[in-house]
Structure 1
Amino acid sequence: MQALLLSNSTNHGAGYLAHARETVLSFLDGAELTFVPYALADHDAYTAKVADALSPHGIRVTGVHTAADPRDALRRAEAVFVGGGNTFRLLAALERRGLLDLLRERARAGMPYMGASAGTNIAGASIRTTNDMPIVQPTSFAALGLVPFQINPHYLDADPSSTHNGETREQRLAEFLEENDAAVLGLREGTWLRLDGETASVSGQAVQPSAPGPALVFTRDAAPREVSGDVSDLLAQPARLDVGTH
């Protein structure tokens, strides 16, 4: 399986995919890209944005929504990019169009899969660790399961100088782990996860100035640990969902 899972598509002050351009172009290796725009409402404008970013570098981009038969378009796709937006809307749209199982099948068979934000969220076992509001209701939270662990894109470290008293991201993930036994990879803004067969690695430069590295791993009954580079051990840790509290 070949996958590139970006925490985000745009860094502040930079163009779309600019912060990861070399990695993206190397990953796609000139393949024609089928873009899945369902996480946002305006599919045409979203596809145009991706094309504007990648076509100058020789990547042809076609929105799957423009195909008379989106399922056939996915069957013939050389590579797929699932863009960010609202994860619940994305998952519901894939379910409604009968694309979720097909996308999983193609990705597991070796078709390069690229995701950003919501498109990265759905690569995990479920979407339970998304940051998004449930603006629509999919039939299930079950996602593609390309990796056996959970992913939390846009992971944000708590600001010790903030006067905001709401839950931190770490606290929310701790609540997830109280009910579920599954590793969670918190990808900081500006970073990504690369899957290449049986290996997995995290790279990129975290945008948050105080961040010590690209990502953290959260597991039940253990302190969060910073990770960088090889994280292949996570591929051997299947998710156990709905196991409840101890």
Structure 2
Amino acid sequence: MNLLLLSSSRAGDSGYLEHARTTLAEHFGEREVLFIPFAGVTIDWDAYLERVREALDPVGIRVSGIHKAIDAKKAVEEADAIAVGGGNTFHLLKTIYDWDLLERIRDKVQSGTPYAGWSAGSNISAPTICTTNDMPIVQPPSFAALNLLPFQINPHYTDVMPANFHGETRAQRLEEYLTANPNQQVIALPEGTGLLRRGNKLERVGEAELLRFVAKKPVQKLSEKDLSFLLQ
């Protein structure tokens, strides 16, 4: 499999996908990318497609939108590469189910077609979407996702606690998940980071450390480049 999973569409004060342009260009090569905008809720899908096109045009990446295809299933089956944008993960997954695309996307990516996601698009690469940060504004038939990795992902990870905030921290929420699902593990992706999978090789993307959450164990900081052991 060829996966590029980004925490977010921006890093710091960078422009949309600006921090990841070079990495995306290397990942996709000269392939035309089929973009799936289903996570977009308050943004029109045509406008979302144009945003992605404008962001990736400087590095020569051509982008088409699945929502414009006459036959979405055929578009997935014939895609040279696939990208899934951020937004609301529940809306993204429900629409994928509604369009009967989950297994088709999974099969296509497992066959070697390059896949890139950011935020919600990264969330759905995990076995389930149970570790998304998003509000469940719609109800998918299942939380089961693409299952392209043997662990859960938590994009946009931060341990910042605002003054006078009395809710649970992100770490506490992930601890809740692992208490209820003790056989799972979660890899948290701070802003500007990601994961790159090439077959059985997995690498950290970005400068910041990733975090590994396992039930009843201290949080592990992942500063090494090679994270292939997470695939075992």
Compute the TM-score of the two structures, normalised by the length of structure 2. Answer: 0.95
Equivalent position of 1:39 in the other structure:
39
Equivalent position of 1:219 in the other structure:
214
Equivalent position of 1:24 in the other structure:
24
Runs of 5+ consecutive residues of structure 2 not aligned to the other structure = none
The secondary structure found in structure 2 opposite 1:10 is coil
The secondary structure found in structure 2 opposite 1:48 is helix
Match of 1:112 among 107, 114, 120: 114
Residues 125-179 of structure 1, C-alpha deviations (whole Å, 9 max, x = no match): 00000000000000000000000100000001134x7331211000000000001
Match of 1:231 among 223, 227, 231: 227
Q: Whole-Å Cα distance in 1 between the matches of residues 10 and 160 of structure 2?
A: 21
Cα displacement (A) at 1:62: 0.2
Please report the RMSD computed on the Cα atoms of aligned residues, expressed in angstroms: 1.1
Cα displacement (A) at 1:233: 1.5
The secondary structure found in structure 1 opposite 2:95 is helix
Match of 1:182 among 177, 181, 184: 184
Equivalent position of 1:244 in the other structure:
none
The secondary structure found in structure 1 opposite 2:174 is helix
Compute the TM-score of the two structures, normalised by the length of structure 1. Answer: 0.90
Cα displacement (A) at 1:186: 0.2
Equivalent position of 2:14 in the other structure:
14
The secondary structure found in structure 2 opposite 1:223 is coil
Q: Which runs of 4+ in 1 moved over 4 A?
A: none
Q: Whole-Å Cα distance in 1 between the matches of residues 4 and 163 of structure 2?
A: 33
The secondary structure found in structure 2 opposite 1:62 is strand
Of residues 162-171 and 134-143 in structure 1, the stretch that sits farther from structure 2 once superposed is 162-171
2:221 maps to a residue whose letter is E
Cα displacement (A) at 1:39: 0.4
1:132 and 2:127 are equivalent in the alignment: no
Q: Whole-Å Cα distance in 2 between the matches of residues 204 and 163 of structure 1?
A: 31
1:26 maps to a residue whose letter is E
Q: How many residues align structurally?
A: 228
Q: 1:92-111 alignment to 2 at 5 Å?
A: 92-111=94-113
Identical columns (%): 47
Q: 1:143-162 alignment to 2 at 5 Å?
A: 143-159=145-161, 162=163
Cα displacement (A) at 1:10: 1.5
Q: Whole-Å Cα distance in 1 between the matches of residues 9 and 198 of structure 2?
A: 21
Q: Whole-Å Cα distance in 1 between the matches of residues 159 and 137 of structure 2?
A: 25
Q: Is the 8 A contact 2:22 2:59 kept in 1?
A: no
Runs of 5+ consecutive residues of structure 1 not aligned to the other structure = 206-212, 237-246
Q: Whole-Å Cα distance in 2 between the matches of residues 19 and 57 of structure 1?
A: 12
Residues 186-219 of structure 1, C-alpha deviations (whole Å, 9 max, x = no match): 00011010001101111213xxxxxxx3310000
Q: Is the 8 A contact 1:82 1:116 kept in 2?
A: yes
The secondary structure found in structure 1 opposite 2:125 is coil
Q: Whole-Å Cα distance in 1 between the matches of residues 84 and 64 of structure 2?
A: 12
